[in-house]
């Protein structure tokens, strides 16, 4: 699992690649720390190369969203595959995120 963050003036984009499972969660939590510290930004979670998300991964996305709401940031999830979209749907989180 690899997480890369790209920073621009008004946006932070996190590119996730691989399987965001329990084993990868601790490192990914560390990697996304800049997203939690941002204020007044658009945060894009680019999931083009994300293959799988577990409960631990969902918790990371939820913590990013929770922190963003407190810091006036907007979170957008982009390019999730069909399986991950189904995970968001079956857990009832699909209405919580802006999934594009």
Partner 1 sequence: MELLDPHSSLILDEYRTRLPMYNELQDKIESMLRDELAKNELEVTAVETRVKTEKSLVGKLKLKGQKYASLSDITDILGARIITYYTDDVDRIAAMTERMFDIDWDDSVDKRRLHQLDSFGYNSLHYVCRLPESALAAPEMQKFRGIRFELQLRTTLQHAWAAINHDTGYKTGIEIPREYLRQMNRLAGMLELADDEFSRIRTEINDYRRRVQQLVQNGKLDDVMLDGETFKSYFDIRPLDALNKRIAAINQAEIQEVPLMGYMPVFVAFGCKTLGDVDRLIKKYSIDAYRLARHQLGNTGIDIISSAVGLQNICIVCIVHQGGGKIGLRRLFNALNGENSNNEMLAEITYQQAAELINAKER
Q: How many residues of this chain interact with partner 1, rule: CB under 8 A?
A: 22
Site string for partner 1, 67-86 (x = CB under 8 A): -------------x-x--xx
Comparing CB distances to partner 1, the nearer of 26 and 94 is 94
Beta strands per DSSP E along the chain: 2-7, 11-20, 42-53, 74-78, 98-99
CB of 7 to partner 1, least distance (A): 26
Select from 58, 68, 72, 73 the one that contacts partner 1 (CB under 8 A).
Answer: 58
Question: The sheet that has 42-53: what strands, in order across it?
Answer: 2-7, 11-20, 42-53, 74-78, 98-99
């Amino acid at each position: 699992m690899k997480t890369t963050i790209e920073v621009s003036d008004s946006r932070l984009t996190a590119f996730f690649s691989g399987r965001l499972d329990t084993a990868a969660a601790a490192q990914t939590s560390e990697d996304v720390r800049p997203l939690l510290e941002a204020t007044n930004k658009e945060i894009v979670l680019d999931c083009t190369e994300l293959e799988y998300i577990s409960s631990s991964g969902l918790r990371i996305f939820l913590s990013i969203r929770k922190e963003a709401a407190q810091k006036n940031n907007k979170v957008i999830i982009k390019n999730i595959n069909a399986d991950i979209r189904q995970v968001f749907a079956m857990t009832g989180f699909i209405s919580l995120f802006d999934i594009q």
